[in-house]
């Protein structure tokens, strides 16, 4: 009889380390309007968790994501209830918060020339005389998969790459920050740029409905709340109408208009806006029923207002797609114009192409802002990480719009409802005349069709700038934007 071999126990699976917050605190000073301001910066990542249930009972909490943020708070503040706090993010989807952070709001900004052209590398940061830190504390948020924000080990990043979950995760972070840093009594603002305006509008409803958090104001920089105004799809004539005044502004900037229009930007824009809303919209509505004489008249007027030839416009069936315009306007000069900011020019290898090879306005800022932030976060904010800081992460695509399947994304209704429930919620929209990503007339159309009650219309204000999507890279526009946003935050 032989002895039994000892029973083998299954190998234990090593437990995953519990993710933890990573925070670094630094202190700084800046001189704004001749006054020295002392402030504290908290930089790092906070773990977002969600409650878990089993058999209908709460079981515990599960870590889902690690959200990177940079928060600036004034030191000499005795009563936080009177000190506003503003949460900032950019768009993409897939963009970090670097643009608003180092472009206009934060205490440090990237140094560019007067127009918005980059200076030779290495790129430098300077104290930002236009920072809003004087008026409000600032919290810059990087959504999951942007900046240093990541899904935690064991969680799929893809779950956060969509309209609904993105709004929820950013909203839950705002709730966590407000609670942890005792800011429930503070006036609270959001500022978003581009797709960040889509997110901000969604947050206006989510923060109210989920967390009972009512906002004082939302600042929308280069807004898009109704995607039907931007999508050049067959059967949707709306963008052709709404982009036209920006085509006119672009042609004016590059001196492609007739002398009477070239004399004044506002005169050119006003004529283009009136034509777009009237004769042009009516002509496109007629489709194949448009008569020969009327078609010729529309074609001639479009040529006058865009700087493109009548031959090209006829071949385009009176409908000019944005990327084709960017390629065609300066084709004879061998140049393209930018989408984010049509003031800037690019050079393509193929002069006969239909669309540009790259957006010169994006190329203008990508390198400087990337190197500027990577130096700043390590050297001044003392946050060290070997992860790549994802300035603009294309891996978030395809972005999920499952809630808007078979329809255009439309978050304007969420904003309308939030403003109706909270009649103290104010909105300011900043528009660039040379922005071909989110044209100003498309934004005007969206807000003119918001359906907001007349008694609340005064809660909406707009400002305009002779620059593009990121109007703050243009120094005169930066100064004006600072004034507009400061006044908005301080308004009672």
What the block records as the tokens of 490 is: 């301080």
> What is the tens place of the pLDDT at every residue in 276-331?
999 999 999 999 999 999 999 999 999 999 999 999 999 999 999 999 999 999 99
User: Higher confidence at residue 492 or residue 234?
Assistant: 234
Domain-located, residue 6 = no
Domain-located, residue 42 = yes
Q: How far apart are CA 265 and CA 91, in angstroms?
A: 29
Mean pLDDT (whole number) for 252-257: 98
Domain-located, residue 4 = no
pLDDT exceeds cutoff 50 at 413: yes
Domain stops at, among 326, 358, 390: 358
Asked whether residue 385 falls in the same domain as residue 326, the answer is no
Domain stops at, among 335, 358, 381: 358
Asked whether residue 369 falls in the same domain as residue 351, the answer is no
Closest CA to 88 of 108, 111, 64, 106: 106
Domain-located, residue 120 = yes
Asked whether residue 209 falls in the same domain as residue 131, the answer is yes
- Please, which pLDDT band fits residue 3 given cuts at 50, 70 and 90? low
- Please, which pLDDT band fits residue 77 given cuts at 50, 70 and 90? confident
Asked whether residue 124 falls in the same domain as residue 257, the answer is no
> What is the tens place of the pLDDT at every residue in 138-179?
999 999 999 999 999 999 999 999 999 999 999 999 999 999
Q: What is the pLDDT of residue 14?
A: 56
Non-local CB neighbours of 205 within 8 Å, separated by 6+ positions: 414, 415, 417, 418
303: containing domain? 234-358
Burial status of residue 295 (CB atoms within 10 A of its CB: 0-12, 13-18, 19 or more): middle
How many domains are contained in the chain?
2
Domain stops at, among 331, 358, 385: 358
Q: How far apart are CA 200 and CA 143, in angstroms?
A: 12
Asked whether residue 132 falls in the same domain as residue 242, the answer is no
State the greatest distance between any 2 C-alpha atoms of the chain, in Å, as a whole number: 111
Asked whether residue 251 falls in the same domain as residue 167, the answer is no
Asked whether residue 258 falls in the same domain as residue 172, the answer is no
Asked whether residue 303 falls in the same domain as residue 385, the answer is no
Asked whether residue 334 falls in the same domain as residue 434, the answer is no
Q: How far apart are CA 215 and CA 291, in angstroms?
A: 52
Asked whether residue 344 falls in the same domain as residue 375, the answer is no
Asked whether residue 159 falls in the same domain as residue 58, the answer is yes
Asked whether residue 68 falls in the same domain as residue 192, the answer is yes
Non-local CB neighbours of 203 within 8 Å, separated by 6+ positions: 167, 170, 171, 174, 190
């Amino acid at each position: 009889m032989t002895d039994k071999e000892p029973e083998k126990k299954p190998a234990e699976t090593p437990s995953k380390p519990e993710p933890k917050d990573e925070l670094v605190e630094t202190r700084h000073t800046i001189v704004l309007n001749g006054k020295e301001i002392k402030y504290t910066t908290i930089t790092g990542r906070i773990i977002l968790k969600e409650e878990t249930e089993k058999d209908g009972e709460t079981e515990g909490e599960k870590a889902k994501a690690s959200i990177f943020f940079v928060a600036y708070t004034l030191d000499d503040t005795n009563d936080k209830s009177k000190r506003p706090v503003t949460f900032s993010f950019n768009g993409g989807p897939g963009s970090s918060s670097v643009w608003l952070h180092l472009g206009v709001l934060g205490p440090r900004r990237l140094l560019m020339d007067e127009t918005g052209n980059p200076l030779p590398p290495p790129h430098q940061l300077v104290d930002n005389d236009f920072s809003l830190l004087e008026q409000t504390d600032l919290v810059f948020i990087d959504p999951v998969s942007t900046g240093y924000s990541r899904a935690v080990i064991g969680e799929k990043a893809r779950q956060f790459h969509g309209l609904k979950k993105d709004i929820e995760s950013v909203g839950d972070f705002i709730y966590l920050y407000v609670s942890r840093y005792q800011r429930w009594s503070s006036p609270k603002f959001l500022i978003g740029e581009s797709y960040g305006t889509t997110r901000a509008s969604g947050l206006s409803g989510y923060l109210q409905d989920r967390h009972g958090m009512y906002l004082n104001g939302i600042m929308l920089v280069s807004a898009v709340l109704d995607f039907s105004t931007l999508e050049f799809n067959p059967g949707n004539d709306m963008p052709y109408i709404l982009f036209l005044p920006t085509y006119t502004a672009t042609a004016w900037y590059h001196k492609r208009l007739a002398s009477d229009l070239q004399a004044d930007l506002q005169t050119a824009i006003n004529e283009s806006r009136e034509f777009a809303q009237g004769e042009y919209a009516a002509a496109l509505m007629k489709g194949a029923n448009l008569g020969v004489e009327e078609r010729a008249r529309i074609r001639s007027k479009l040529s006058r207002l865009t700087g493109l030839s009548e031959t090209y416009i006829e071949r385009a069936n009176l409908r000019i797609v944005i990327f084709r315009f960017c390629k065609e306007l300066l084709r004879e000069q061998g140049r393209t114009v930018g989408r984010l900011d049509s003031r800037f020019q690019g050079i393509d290898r193929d002069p006969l192409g239909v669309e540009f090879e790259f957006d010169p306005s994006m190329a203008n800022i990508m390198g400087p802002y990337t190197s500027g932030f990577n130096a700043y976060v390590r050297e001044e904010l003392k946050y060290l990480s070997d992860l790549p800081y994802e300035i603009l992460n294309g891996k978030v695509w395809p972005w999920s719009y499952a809630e808007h399947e078979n329809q255009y994304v439309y978050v304007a209704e969420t904003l309308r409802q939030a403003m109706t429930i909270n009649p103290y919620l104010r909105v300011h929209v900043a528009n660039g005349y040379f922005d071909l990503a989110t044209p100003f007339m498309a934004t005007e159309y969206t807000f003119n069709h918001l359906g907001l009650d007349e008694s609340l219309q005064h809660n909406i204000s707009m400002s305009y700038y002779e620059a593009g999507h990121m109007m703050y890279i243009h120094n005169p526009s930066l100064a004006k934007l600072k004034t507009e946003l400061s006044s908005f935050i301080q308004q009672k």
